[in-house]
Amino acid sequence: MNVFEDDLDAFGVLVGAFVALVGVGTLVGMPWQYSGGMLLTVFQILGAVSAVALGVGLAWLVHSQ
């Protein structure tokens, strides 16, 4: 039983999972504790959450088609 239709399907899911893990790693690493201002902190958190959403969305989109 093959879960993926072709090699690019598996590659897309792996890339999506990697992007999501990078976003989670950024959130866990808390880089905003070294930033200078509140605005920069907000952008860093939004960027990390966006990376998680983008990675999960990419993996879902590639695998669902």
Write down the pLDDT at residue 63.
82
Mean pLDDT for the chain overall:
86
Q: Is the pLDDT of residue 15 over 80?
A: yes
CA neighbor of 21 nearest in space, from 55, 50, 47, 57: 55
Q: 31-35, 43-47, 48-52, 60-64 — which is least confidently predicted?
A: 31-35
Q: Is the pLDDT of residue 65 over 80?
A: no
**Mean pLDDT in residue range 55-65:** 89
Residue 55: burial class (beta carbons within 10 Å; 0-12, 13-18, 19+): buried
Write down the pLDDT at residue 1.
58
